[in-house]
Amino acid sequence: MKTIRSITICLGWFVLATLAMTSCDKYDFTDKLQGLGERVEALELKADSLNQAFINLNAIIETIRNNGYVTRLEQNPDDSYTIALSTGKTITLRNGRQGTDGADGQEATLLISAKQDIDGQWYWTLNGEWMLDATSNKIPAGGKDGKDGQDGKDDNVIVPRVRIDNITRCWQISTDNGVTWDYILDGNNQPIRADGKNGANGADDLFKDIIVSDDGKSITIVLTDDRTFTIPIIPRK
């Protein structure tokens, strides 16, 4: 009788231990799923933020090419600036770097900017090199020949778009308004991961600093490649 009772007790402890391990595995699996979902959401937000930064930079270059100016400048509680431009567009820029390095602290190169060529036109650049379209032509930034699209719109301007591949977690870029996508490569011709060992910096890193002149008559916008854009401030009356 004692033997049966002992076996019963042992079986009871075995069942409880099994249930406990199963429960732990369940919660561990749930935690992992939740963590994965949070990482995917963070990557999507990173891409969305960077795409908005490209649109903002295009608006800045468009303003400069058309001898425009800032009509309203407001500093927000989160240290960002709301900037109304004479072109009729309003953008919001954050003051300072908002992103973080990759998991091991190594910074991969994902630097999209724009610079002026000898023809006076501004063109998009990727990691210091001219960004080219499918026909190997440089891609104008801020409006070709200093003009917007019809009726003041910039429909004819291609603004780069980026996304993160759901499978590889690597950065991709489109230079044809999202029709085709190519991987962004590092110096070793390897795709740049948005997370992990060679994860690129955060999406808001396109803009490094925002400086308002002491007399309040101009604003200087500094990119992460140290390129600067200075726009006069002429308040709208």
- pLDDT tens across 84-141, in order? 999 999 999 986 544 434 333 344 557 888 999 999 899 999 888 899 888 888 999 9
Length of the chain as a residue count: 237
**Nearest-10 Cα torsion for 149, 203, 224, 159:** -20
Q: Is 16 helix (H, G, I), strand (E, B) or coil?
A: helix
pLDDT at residue number 128: 86
- Structure tokens, 42: 């963070």
Residue-wise pLDDT for 156-198, tens only, equals: 678 999 999 988 889 999 999 899 999 988 878 888 888 754 4
| Rounded to 5°, angle at Cα 203 from 200 and 208 | 100
The yes-or-no verdict on residue 47 having pLDDT over 90 is no
pTM for the model: 0.73
Q: How far apart are CA 193 and CA 214, in angstroms?
A: 41
Q: Is residue 204 over pLDDT 80?
A: no
**Residues 227, 128: Cα–Cα separation, whole Å:** 11
Q: What is the mean pLDDT of the chain?
A: 76
> Which of helix, strand or coil describes residue 177?
coil
Summarised one tens digit per residue, pLDDT across range 10-39 is 545 554 555 555 555 555 545 444 444 555
pLDDT tens digits along 52-73: 989 999 999 999 989 999 999 9
Q: What separation, in Å, do the N-terminal and C-terminal C-alpha atoms of the chain show?
A: 99
Q: How many CA atoms lie within 13 A of 81 on its CB side?
A: 19
Bridge partners (DSSP) of residue 70 are: 85, 233
- Residue recorded with tokens 């600067």: 228
Find out whether 160 and 173 touch, Cβ atoms under 8 Å: yes
Report the alpha-carbon distance of residue 138 to residue 124 in Å, rounded. 7
HSE-CB at 48 with a 13 A cutoff on CA atoms is: 6
Task: Decide if pLDDT at 41 tops 60.
Answer: yes
C-alpha triplet 130, 133, 137: angle, nearest 5°: 65
Q: Are 108 and 186 in contact (CB under 8 A)?
A: yes
The residues, ordered by sequence, that sit 6+ positions from 86 with a Cβ below 8 Å of its Cβ are 63, 66, 68, 69, 70, 71, 234
Residues 6+ away with beta carbon under 8 Å from 110: 127, 171, 184, 192, 200, 201
